[in-house]
Structure 1
């Protein structure tokens, strides 16, 4: 279970970084149907691309922890789910977007429950281990504070 969670968290991180770089580099040309939107939308698209890149880096950071912090995974998955809810709201207000946006909406609504379930199972498995949850790699790698 832990291996699957780590793999999915890492894949999500790399996918988000790639998407963020793509949108940052191409601006409105990265979005189907946005080619004539203009400078304001291009500026916003590149800004959101940078934010999405950072979001992907947060997923990658989580995947590199041992154990994977379930609270962080739930928070990141919750943000992803909120994005899908935002797309549903847009669909209700403005109607059907480009078909690819519908595909993205399905992914954004379907994946978070998988992350919630896997992170809860991994958290429980770590708590059930003798001695509890092992320290994270980052905590173990930190030097001890200087003695007074």
Structure 2
């Protein structure tokens, strides 16, 4: 019964903790993880961020590291202390997220796309687990 309730991928989420903590001070962003027969799809809300503001890297140990620098933060830094904010309700600032990929993925075919404020990372599956090599993944506007 426990295997039915806590089988894969739930076992990985609860016991092996694929979500790694990033102590850089950047805000963590929520993630959706969708699995299809051919790939894993990870989605993140990143409103206001363009492809040049987001970096996606595959690190050793099947770790994906996503980080972004807020365009609003860059603008405020350019203008210096001349800017006076009267009301700030929208979340702004840098974000960062690290998590472990499943073992059955093709790391050399990972694609990332940002469109309409959503970053989607598509990780194709592989029938046999492979050793992934660290690399930077280009973020595009269209997949």
Indicate the structure with greater strand content.
Answer: 2
Give the number of the structure whose alpha-carbon radius of gyration is greater: 1
TM-score by length of 1: 0.28
Indicate the structure with greater helix content.
Answer: 1
TM-score by length of 2: 0.28
